Amino acid sequence: MFLSIGIPAHNEENTIARTIKSILKNSAWKKSFGKREIIVCCNDCTDTTADIVRNLKLVIPEIQLIEVAE
């Protein structure tokens, strides 16, 4: 089974960590035995959203970060 969750983000420094942690607590995430990933796409963020995701990625390797200047 492959579980891929996408999170579009624009200046979400106040909520991004809580959102990701909520996904990690979800039963679908916990029961996934195959490959799983959380893809956060930061769309022209001017706050610390991307930095927060980078720090979470250090302890949660399933996180992928995409940054776009849009």
Look-up: residue for tokens 């799983």?
Answer: 36
Q: Tell me what pLDDT residue 28 has.
A: 87
Instruction: Output the tens digit of pLDDT for each of the chain's 70 residues.
Output: 789 999 999 999 999 999 999 999 998 898 887 889 999 999 999 999 999 999 999 999 999 999 999 7
Number of residues in the chain: 70
Q: Tell me what pLDDT residue 70 has.
A: 73
Q: Tell me what pLDDT residue 9 has.
A: 97
Q: Tell me what pLDDT residue 34 has.
A: 81
Strands, DSSP E only, in the chain? 3-9, 36-43, 63-68
Residue 45 is classified by DSSP as: -
